[in-house]
Structure 1
């Protein structure tokens, strides 16, 4: 009898971030996901049970699985961005547990900037609060494609359907003012596990999927930009071996689009054109490359290409610009962003120096009001600025391409990241 061949397909990866106000249960929800999907080591669970017992908790405090800093455990709040990993038979997951407190807005921006999906938690007893709206706006600003509102602690309102629907209606109305392409609302109890992994018997009136069911099946493949070819060159591979004398490859991560052998491409900023001779990985040549694959591209012609250059299509190129409009979240607690300030810019694989030419307005992300009289941006504040760079950057609108539309601002004196920027080419 011939052996049965089992088809194995690579599982895709979902990155998601949690957000919400203090004490809404983000860390507990993540702990519940890890616990119910059996993604914990025995010693991890034993350690949490021991700490819970020592604190006098009547239950295993699953929030301790993610609140790793001592200050977090002592204060009962999340400060740092904690990353956790787990997998089910359908999909792999990376969770960014981001802080809910207003003073840690920059941490939430960091965690959500690469997320495919954001979970916003709301306490069913409190309803929508200022932080709920703040986080929804930030997720919209960061172009997180999928949003899930988890109305948590439903057990504390007796699983009341009217309470859930009132919160869902209010949040849906607010999200309509933002750019939220996909919104799902789920009633849950992270502490008891209702609607986390399996459907809850306590809420028969809820006909939607459990949280894990939605996370496993939400469609993310179409979120990636496969139209605009963008390949920032990270490293030029030129072997020094005497047996390989004519190999020249350009290594990097595909930011968007699809690269195939035979495709006509253009190299920026030089503008020279060629064709792709081969696309290779560590495992050998591949027929095509797409985001977020890391590959080496070989061209048919010898062109002077170095780190920071970009490979794209001849008739579909990013904007080559030195004067750039951007929304910026300021992350430095010591010095605010001011007009005339000089910084270093890191954009894809290209670095430059820049000066802030103008501050158009500071944005109140609770009311969405624009303060056009603002003269600086302090820690956690967001505003629109205009910068001038020493060398041209190859940018797209952040709404179209999160990779080529995003950049970080670095203080040259301390080498610290002090801001995160999103290119705005249209209003």
Structure 2
């Protein structure tokens, strides 16, 4: 199957401190010739000032001056590049344990995750945490890059041992596709070009894996979900009776003439027309932004969902989610939060912490009811009104929620419906 050259692939990188993520991304951009000449000249100059021969590849992601001066990388950095085969967005998430929340942010929309492992250290706590989060976020494809193979003399047995370590614990996780590549980001082995130092590895370099990864089947084309963001009532000539519903299709396909149901009201109608920008179309699909009109005049507002009559989500006011706590402040019992689900926003509270997960053993602790930063727990949530929900495993868009602190307006947690 040929890959669409305009198809966008989002991938996140994750690993522990000093595993070489910045160097890997720098090598990827450098060897694939995806760097502007002025940026390259600036980084070459900075590398000379630091007394480094050649180019310090890590500087391609350390974009902030303060970061460079302190020698650290912070927060989630997004990088965009294109090859003749595909377009890419990279979400680079730091390895510090206190920044695990950033992986949730960077990986939430990813098609693939690149998890780095230092060949000298093997699988450690952060490796397990990142793999667990990748599984929790239902990322379809995982590429495990065993980095710094040059520091273990490119030994095949070291790579095989780490592969076995990873497979031993990841067998408990719900990950569909895991690929393993031995690399040296510093020297460029198996990043863009095949390694001459590891002839024993018969697989493809990392960029080739990303370029040829099939992601079309990862999208939910069955469950049609369209959350209304705004109601269009243009007050100009020619649009007197126009009442359109605008938003982004979360999943599925909509066609003119389809029988639909509006939730939560339950009113039914048929699609009269669909507009994508200025153009009228006969059908639309995820993730297109559209406006549609219906054959009947129904009271619809922001936060309502238009679905196929024969395929509807659950309407729930109380439900369980796997919650990643992202805030520095601990969760307060019975506190009211703002819950955001698609375009629907309302009040909610955490009724109960059912159990917390030990990231190392995957054991469940039913006694500890606290929620601190980086904690991952199954919790019971109650909302003021019903939400239109799917299982996160079936639909990443309509199966996810965020909780927002009403006072500070900070996002304090992200949740996936179980």
Q: TM-score by structure 2 length?
A: 0.97
Secondary structure in 2 aligned to 1:373?
Answer: coil
Secondary structure in 2 aligned to 1:162?
Answer: helix
The worse-fitting range, judged by mean Cα deviation, of 235-244 and 304-313 is 235-244
Counterpart in the other structure of 2:295: 300
Distance in 1 of aligned mates of 2:294 and 2:38: 51
Residues 41-60 of structure 1 aligned to structure 2 (within 5 Å)? 41-60=36-55
Counterpart in the other structure of 1:152: 147
Residues 140-179 of structure 1 aligned to structure 2 (within 5 Å)? 140-179=135-174
Shift of 1:70: 4.3
Shift of 1:58: 2.9
Contact 1:337-1:377 at 8 Å conserved across structures: yes
Q: Residue 282 and residue 177 in structure 1: after superposition, are their counterparts in 2 closer, same or farther (change >3 A)?
A: same
Contact 2:5-2:87 at 8 Å conserved across structures: no
- Within the candidate set 350, 356, 363, 2:350 is matched to 356
Unaligned runs of 5+ in 1: 1-7
Query: Does 1:198 pair with 2:201?
Result: no
Distance in 1 of aligned mates of 2:69 and 2:161: 34
Secondary structure in 2 aligned to 1:273?
Answer: strand
Shift of 1:22: 0.6
Secondary structure in 2 aligned to 1:178?
Answer: coil
RMSD over aligned CA atoms reads: 1.5
The worse-fitting range, judged by mean Cα deviation, of 219-228 and 121-130 is 121-130
Counterpart in the other structure of 1:310: 305
Contact 1:259-1:289 at 8 Å conserved across structures: yes
Distance in 2 of aligned mates of 1:355 and 1:165: 47
- Within the candidate set 279, 285, 310, 1:284 is matched to 279
- Within the candidate set 247, 270, 283, 1:252 is matched to 247
Counterpart in the other structure of 2:406: 412
Counterpart in the other structure of 2:393: 399
Residues 102-251 of structure 1 aligned to structure 2 (within 5 Å)? 102-251=97-246
Q: Residue 409 and residue 238 in structure 1: after superposition, are their counterparts in 2 closer, same or farther (change >3 A)?
A: same
Residues 47-86 of structure 1 aligned to structure 2 (within 5 Å)? 47-86=42-81
The worse-fitting range, judged by mean Cα deviation, of 317-326 and 280-289 is 280-289
Q: Residue 283 and residue 203 in structure 1: after superposition, are their counterparts in 2 closer, same or farther (change >3 A)?
A: farther
Contact 2:7-2:87 at 8 Å conserved across structures: yes
Distance in 2 of aligned mates of 1:282 and 1:193: 44
Contact 2:145-2:181 at 8 Å conserved across structures: yes
Secondary structure in 2 aligned to 1:377?
Answer: coil
Contact 1:23-1:77 at 8 Å conserved across structures: no
Distance in 2 of aligned mates of 1:103 and 1:127: 21
The Cα offsets for residues 32-78 of structure 1, whole Å up to 9 and x where unpaired, read as: 11111111111111111122111122341111111223453344433
The worse-fitting range, judged by mean Cα deviation, of 268-277 and 344-353 is 268-277
Secondary structure in 2 aligned to 1:63?
Answer: helix
Distance in 2 of aligned mates of 1:37 and 1:283: 37
Counterpart in the other structure of 1:4: none
Distance in 2 of aligned mates of 1:317 and 1:67: 45
Counterpart in the other structure of 1:347: 341
- Within the candidate set 363, 366, 369, 2:363 is matched to 369
Contact 1:153-1:188 at 8 Å conserved across structures: yes
Counterpart in the other structure of 2:331: 337
Distance in 2 of aligned mates of 1:241 and 1:401: 38
The worse-fitting range, judged by mean Cα deviation, of 106-115 and 275-284 is 275-284
Counterpart in the other structure of 1:24: 19
Secondary structure in 1 aligned to 2:207?
Answer: helix
Secondary structure in 2 aligned to 1:255?
Answer: strand
Distance in 2 of aligned mates of 1:186 and 1:286: 44
Distance in 1 of aligned mates of 2:126 and 2:349: 32
Equivalenced residue count is 416
Counterpart in the other structure of 1:381: 375
Shift of 1:379: 1.2
- Within the candidate set 369, 384, 406, 1:390 is matched to 384
Q: TM-score by structure 1 length?
A: 0.95
Shift of 1:339: 2.7
Distance in 1 of aligned mates of 2:370 and 2:357: 11
Counterpart in the other structure of 1:423: 417
Contact 2:4-2:85 at 8 Å conserved across structures: no
